[in-house]
Structure 1
Amino acid sequence: MAELNAVAKRMYNVTPDRLRLTLDDGTTGVFELSSAEFFQREFQAEGRRLDDDAAYRFTTTDDGSAVLAGRRTDGEWSLVGEVVEAERADDDDSDTDGDVAE
């Protein structure tokens, strides 16, 4: 069986604690995930960014090589980017270093 995506495993293992996620364009944000699950090799999660009212979804690509982030605004989903790094956020970490593109 092929390996699980390393970023997805990290997101899953840190949840329900806050996560600092870095996207492929270099932006970062602190997220709280309300759910994070593996379905065999496929990863899916939902949550929110602390400084944003929009809903976010995360899922692995069909081949499991990347974790994609989507953002819902005005009832529509848009691709935000690829999550390239996930780490536990500090307890006092409530803001971000950069903006995630809308």
Structure 2
Amino acid sequence: MADLNPVAKRIHNLSPGPVKIILHDGTQIIFQISKAEFFQQEFQAEGTRENDQNLSRIVSSEDNESVLVGRKGPDEDTWSMIGRIQEVDSVE
């Protein structure tokens, strides 16, 4: 079996709880992770951003090379891509 994505593993190891996510463009976001799980190599997590109650979802890309984060819109039917996660840190 191929290796798990290291960014996804870090999120999984720090959850449940707050994590600091750094996107590929340098944006830093604090997420409160409520659920994180692997389905073989595929990763999925859910949580909310600090000071925002809209649900966010973190998923591995199809090729498992990247971990992406998206945000559910206020109308509950649309999702928008926030970006690709570059790094994950614990919140101290």
Matched position secondary structure for 1:18: strand
Unaligned runs of 5+ in 2: none
CA contact (8 A) 2:22 2:88 kept: yes
Give the structure with the larger strand fraction. 2
4+ long deviations beyond 6 Å: none
1:93 counterpart residue number: none
Unaligned runs of 5+ in 1: 91-102
**What is the percent sequence identity of the aligned residues?**
43
- Tell me, in whole angstroms, the C-alpha distance in 1 between the residues paired with 2:46 and 2:73: 14
Deviations 1:62-96 (A, max 9, x none): 11000010001122101110011111111xxxxxx
2:84 counterpart residue number: 82
Matched position secondary structure for 2:17: coil
- Tell me, in whole angstroms, the C-alpha distance in 2 between the residues paired with 1:52 and 1:8: 22
Q: How many residues align?
A: 90
1:96 counterpart residue number: none
